[in-house]
Amino acid sequence: MKKTCYLSFNECVTILVMASLVATTFAGNFYDDMDITFGGARAKILNGGQDLTLSLDQYSGSGFQSKHEYLFGRFDMQIKLVPGNSAGTVTTFYLSSQGAAHDEIDFEFLGNSSGNPYTIHTNVFAQGKGDKEQQFHLWFDPSAAFHTYTILWNSQRIIFLIDNIPIRVFNNNEASGVPFPKSQPMRVYASLWNADDWATQGGRVKTDWTKAPFTASYRKFNANANMVVGANQMPTSSGNENQAWSTQGLDAAGRNRLRWVQTKYMIYNYCNDKKRFPNGLPTECKL
């Protein structure tokens, strides 16, 4: 069907240019969206900004952070993790504010020796306090191909998703006295670093530096989110199209997928760790 513009020529051109900018922002470009924070040449932006790789050797890891801060949104990143013997390495994708009383929402990917599965470590910090870990194995090899990892954060809940399948929900239970990250803007961060003192089987398996450099790959970042500029909250261009995330929860199908993941693939849940909390489980675990 032919599309007709009933505005002036200049107005039509302006609208078309703005639509083009929205599409470009939605696609994401690491040159536009991210700053390398450490590691020097170990972090590489490739293919005109479409891809980014992080490397780790025995001297340093590497990382990047978003140029902008956000207060609520949906954050998607495609990641291909370190292949082969990744024991001792930690690859991350997370949101965080600054300061001792910071908020944080974590995806951490704990490597393992060849043939063993990665451990997906999730955590939520509010006002500087975390200790809300859940860990999972996966139903696929995350080093063989790219998969999409998503943090959805709104005022009611946080949802962790992998390939749009929910693996964890952390609800806002402030009414019951449980702190929830809702007032501190956060940046997006990613890193690859060595943590062989704890990351793999509690530190029993160390990093094999003969396999270095270790490399993880990132692409197709998208922040459909409220970007904070100064004291004002402004929606990003990508957020103008669809802000369904702002009230999103799980429907029946989503709850079934969550139950499937947590039944078959969860390997640790702090809410079941009575030895760790001998004086009683955290409040949110009882709700």
Q: How many separate domains does the chain show? A: 1
- pLDDT beyond 50 at 4: no
Q: Which amino acid is at 145?
A: A
SS3 category, 35: strand
pLDDT tens-digit readout, 193-204: 999 998 888 888
| pLDDT for 56 | 98
If pLDDT is split at 50, 70 and 90, which confidence band does 229 have? Answer: confident
The answer as to whether 27 is a domain residue is: no
Q: Which pLDDT value is given to residue 143?
A: 97
Sequence length of the chain is 287
- Nearest 5°: the CA angle 211, 212, 216 is 110
- The rounded distance, in Å, linking the Cα atoms of 106 and 190 is 10
Give the active site residue among 11, 104, 133, 241.
Answer: 104
Residue 228 is which amino acid? V
pLDDT category, 23, cuts 50, 70, 90?
Answer: very low
The residue range of the domain holding 263 is: 32-286
What pLDDT, on a 0 to 100 scale, did the predictor assign at position 234? 66
pLDDT score of 26 more than 80 = no
Cα distances from 145 to residues 141, 169, 172, 262, in angstroms, run: 8, 25, 34, 23
For residues 74 and 235, the answer to whether their CB atoms sit within 8 Å is no
| Distance, CA of 261 to CA of 151 (rounded, Å) | 16
C-alpha–C-alpha distance, residues 263 and 110, integer Å: 20
Kindly report the pTM of this predicted structure: 0.88
In a domain, 238, yes or no: yes
Percent of the chain with pLDDT over 70: 87
**Residues 34-66: tens digit of each pLDDT:** 999 999 999 999 999 999 999 999 999 999 999
- Residue 228 pLDDT more than 70? yes
Residue 93 domain-assigned (yes or no): yes
As a whole number of angstroms, the distance between CA 121 and CA 119 comes to: 6
Assess whether 174 carries a catalytic annotation: no
What average pLDDT does range 76-81 have in this prediction? 98
Q: What average pLDDT does the chain have? A: 89
**24 in Cβ contact with 14 (< 8 Å):** no
Q: Is 15 inside any structural domain?
A: no
Out of 11, 69, 108, 133, the active site residue is 108
The CATH number for 258's domain is: 2.60.120.200
Residues 249-270 pLDDT 10s = 999 999 999 999 999 999 999 9
Task: Verify whether residue 133 is a known catalytic residue.
Answer: no
pLDDT band (50, 70, 90) for residue 235? low
Q: Tell whether 16 is covered by a domain.
A: no
**Model pLDDT, residue 149:** 98
Give the confidence band of 241 by pLDDT, cuts at 50, 70, 90. low
Q: Report the amino acid identity of residue 14.
A: T
Residues facing residue 108 across a β-bridge: 92, 121
In this predicted structure, the answer to whether residue 2 has a pLDDT above a threshold of 50 is: no
Residue 201: what pLDDT?
Answer: 87
Kindly state whether residue 10 falls inside one of the protein's structural domains.
Answer: no
Coil, strand, or helix at residue 135?
Answer: strand
